[in-house]
Amino acid sequence: MASMAERAGGEVVGVSAPWGQPLDPTNVETAFAEHSPDVFAFVHAETSTGVLQPEVPKLTEIAHANDALVIADTVTSLGGVELRVDAWDIDVAYAGPQKCLSCPPGASPLTLNDRAMEKVLSREQAPRSWYLDLALLEGYWGEDRAYHHTAPVTNVYALREALRLVAEEGIEERWERHREVAGTLKAGVEGLGLEMNAAEEWWLPSLNAVRVPEIVDDGAVIDHLLSEYDIEIASGLGDLEGEIWRIGCMGHSAREKNVSYLLSALGDALESEGFESEASAPVVSD
């Protein structure tokens, strides 16, 4: 997000938290007092660390008290974990179809409230991106149907079908399914003797970050799962490279049977790496 804003000519000030922890509203408040930004952007479901940002209304309240707009990255939240864009007073939220909506990539959900649209429509300078000129897009998406681009029609149908399935299941039921199924996953990896990266209160059901035990090579386990079981899990990024595995539990694939398959595969992969998992009989390693 920072890099995108900078490329668009924005001046970015970062508020950081240790990898594996959410943003601390106090630090956000301090940064506001010091820099008075026009926009505050944050990631709701942080896929690189398996952390769910709690207390979003606290963050939006700080931003609005300082006359700033709030942009939320909800790519791994939408359709997977509780997300209340309007009730939490988020001005702009974007997501992706390919995570918890289990839809092909290509067309992305985006929402702006009136406050954000007012800002878009009152710009003095045209934005540098013609394709993401939301004022032009409003004419295209709205009543006017003014030409702007050719829509990816097949993606729109795909997204409509994905959303229809969400409506059929019920959004709250879907959040609950993610919590339950990922809860089985979490209990299972803990049963194997592994630890989650994020504390319980920030646990992100749609992306489970699991600590790699000291004696285990993270890449060997990833390769083992892929070659023996056709399961792909991801490695850690940045500060957490080599420290965690990232296991997605998203959308249609968030099912108990996938979790039990993953758990037995992971137990096997760990065993072949010489890790004595607590769930299985003691393993004798050389």
Ligand X SMILES: *Cc1c(COP(=O)(O)O)cnc(C)c1O
Contact residues: ligand X, CB under 6 A:
43, 45, 47, 73, 75-76, 96, 99, 105
Least spacing, CB of residue 263 vs ligand X, in Å: 23
Q: Which is nearer to ligand X, 51 or 269 (CB)?
A: 51
Q: Which is nearer to ligand X, 79 or 213 (CB)?
A: 79
Least spacing, CB of residue 99 vs ligand X, in Å: 6
Q: Which is nearer to ligand X, 95 or 269 (CB)?
A: 95
Q: Which is nearer to ligand X, 92 or 263 (CB)?
A: 92
Least spacing, CB of residue 74 vs ligand X, in Å: 8
* Residue 102 tokens, joined: 């289990």
Least spacing, CB of residue 3 vs ligand X, in Å: 12
Query: Do the bridges between strand 69-73 and strand 39-43 make them parallel or antiparallel, or are there none, so unpaired?
Result: parallel
Q: What is the DSSP string of 109-123?
A: -EEE-HHHHHHHHT-
Query: Do the bridges between strand 234-235 and strand 244-248 make them parallel or antiparallel, or are there none, so unpaired?
Result: antiparallel
Q: Which is nearer to ligand X, 155 or 272 (CB)?
A: 155
Least spacing, CB of residue 44 vs ligand X, in Å: 8
Cβ within 8 Å of residue 171, ≥6 positions away: 79
Cβ within 8 Å of residue 166, ≥6 positions away: 79, 101, 174
Nearest to residue 83, comparing CAs of 164, 166, 205, 171?
171
